[in-house]
Structure 1
Amino acid sequence: MGRAFEYRKARMFKRWDHMAKTFTRIGKDIVLAVKSGGAEPSTNARLRALLQNARAANMPKDTIERAIKRATAKDQEDYKEMVYEGYGPHGVAILVESTTDNPTRTVANVRSYFNKLGGSLGTMGMLDFLFDRKCIFKVANDGKRDVEELELELIDFGADEVFLDEENNQIVIYGEFTAYGSLQSYLEENKFEIVESDFERIPNDTKKLSEEEIAEVEKLIERIEEDDDVQRVFHNMA
């Protein structure tokens, strides 16, 4: 199944286990998408994809509509997407994606979490060599598609890994970060049911730790994920 799948399967990403946090994350993404591409899904591909994510997460319709309306309001604060990079306990690389209306507040908070829990916040770009940024699509498997043939076809559109997730009966597609638009267009034009799409950072190498060491790193990651400005947290812990 490949490196990306195994990493995704093992990666601790507990934010998705908390419905309220999930809705907050998607809501901010919707605001950014509307501000950059407009409030009409038919002409805004990123918004269209986020609405699919919202439905997959069982996000209430009125919550989605409020997020869109908030994005078009004149008094809506501008969100900025910020990435923070550092090392946690035992040399584990940690990359934090945030969406914030106050970067000064957010960086101060993130730095304090690292400092208090055995890590150190570094400079932007210091972990670029450790992670590959990928886009991911999960589509419903109708049983009519040969996954290997589909993979060969999607390579021309920027895909680099396609496999069947039998547990959820979905076809999972990983591609280059810049291939998001072309893959989305192909899937929509060929009538695939896109269940979810997103962006991931896959580590090129992972670090094995003892159970005690893992617990220390997880404590820091959990604290970072609790911050309302934090959208996603990635690490290279095996």
Structure 2
Amino acid sequence: MGRKWNNIKDKKAAKDANTSRIFAKFGREIYVAAKQGVPDPEGNQALKFVLERAKTYNVPRHIIDRAIEKAKGGSEESYDSLRYEGFGPNGSMVIVDALTNNVNRTASDVRAAFGKNGGNMGVSGSVAYMFDATAVIGVEGKSEEEVMEILMEADVDARDIIQEEDHTIVYAEPDQFHAVQEAFKAAGITEFSVAELSMLPQSEVTLPEDAMAKFEKMIDALEDLEDVQQVYHNVDLGE
């Protein structure tokens, strides 16, 4: 099940010279989470989750504070949370999550990103059934055995625990995200290399070189869209 989470994160960050695009996406997500509940992570689980993710991407404090203050200030700006599903070259499968204040624009942009790069959008449910919603939490400097012991002592279940170089990654049910983190914190671990709610494919496909080039171009086009927050797929990137 290992997805080389830190390699994926580093690759995303490397695409942007100063990661400004990633930070902008987090700013929007933090604003939406704060707007939907109280603007305090201790009383707003959605906001707490986004802030934990933001920490692993080193999102600057001023971006976080500005988004929360905007929500506190009663901004009328609103966003819809949307999910698109589609297919890439050679039958590869893609899920796109977006936050948008213009549904027609986003749908058109996502459809174009698929269509111009050898893919096509599918109907709702055409792809998602092949993915599992999963909490992914990573820590550095702990072995699989040590992590397993920490979770067992806290009576927290995990689907899988995998060593990835210096990192140990825990895969769990989505509703166990905070329980896993609290188990680590109780053991004195407060820094996480990965803290995500992801959609993991039940199986991965390997693409030939020409199809892989088209696929990567399509994923880049989707991730470049301002309204797109996350892109998930079932292609083995060989990382």
TM-score by length of 2: 0.84
1:53-85 deviation line (CA, Å, top 9, x unaligned): 334333222221111112223234112211100
Counterparts of 1:15 and 1:103, CA distance in 2: 25
Change (3 A) 1:141 1:45: farther
TM-aligned CA deviation for residue 40 of structure 1: 1.8
Counterparts of 2:110 and 2:158, CA distance in 1: 33
Change (3 A) 1:237 1:12: farther
What is the aligned residue count? 231
Counterparts of 1:162 and 1:94, CA distance in 2: 25
TM-aligned CA deviation for residue 49 of structure 1: 3.9
Which residue, 181, 202, 205 being the options, matches 2:203? 205
Counterparts of 1:36 and 1:191, CA distance in 2: 31
Look up the match of 1:226.
Answer: 224
State the AA in 2 paired with 1:36: Q
Change (3 A) 1:164 1:53: same
Counterparts of 1:180 and 1:223, CA distance in 2: 30
Counterparts of 1:130 and 1:45, CA distance in 2: 27
Change (3 A) 1:232 1:129: same
Show the 5 A alignment for 1:58-73: 58-73=58-73
Q: Which runs of 5+ in 2 are unaligned?
A: none
Look up the match of 1:15.
Answer: 12
Matched, 1:176 2:173: yes
Which residue, 221, 235, 239 being the options, matches 1:237? 235
Conserved 8 A contact 1:86-1:121? yes
Q: Which runs of 4+ in 1 moved over 6 A?
A: none
Look up the match of 2:47.
Answer: 47
Look up the match of 1:126.
Answer: 126
1:101-144 deviation line (CA, Å, top 9, x unaligned): 1122111111112122221101111112211110112235478x
The residue matched to 1:125 in structure 2 has which SS?
A: coil
The residue matched to 2:206 in structure 1 has which SS?
A: coil
Counterparts of 1:42 and 1:10, CA distance in 2: 31
Q: Which runs of 5+ in 1 are unaligned?
A: none
The residue matched to 1:237 in structure 2 has which SS?
A: coil
Counterparts of 1:56 and 1:7, CA distance in 2: 15
Conserved 8 A contact 1:86-1:95? yes
Look up the match of 1:30.
Answer: 30
After TM superposition, the structure 1 stretch with the greater mean CA deviation from structure 2, 57-66 or 224-233, is 57-66
Look up the match of 1:216.
Answer: 214
Look up the match of 2:190.
Answer: 193
TM-aligned CA deviation for residue 33 of structure 1: 2.0
Counterparts of 1:176 and 1:86, CA distance in 2: 25
Conserved 8 A contact 1:100-1:106? yes
Matched, 1:160 2:159: yes
Conserved 8 A contact 1:96-1:230? yes
Look up the match of 2:135.
Answer: 135
Counterparts of 1:11 and 1:86, CA distance in 2: 21
Identity score, percent: 29
Conserved 8 A contact 2:4-2:164? no
Conserved 8 A contact 2:83-2:96? yes
Counterparts of 2:65 and 2:118, CA distance in 1: 41
State the AA in 2 paired with 1:183: V
Calculate the aligned-residue CA RMSD, in Å.
2.6
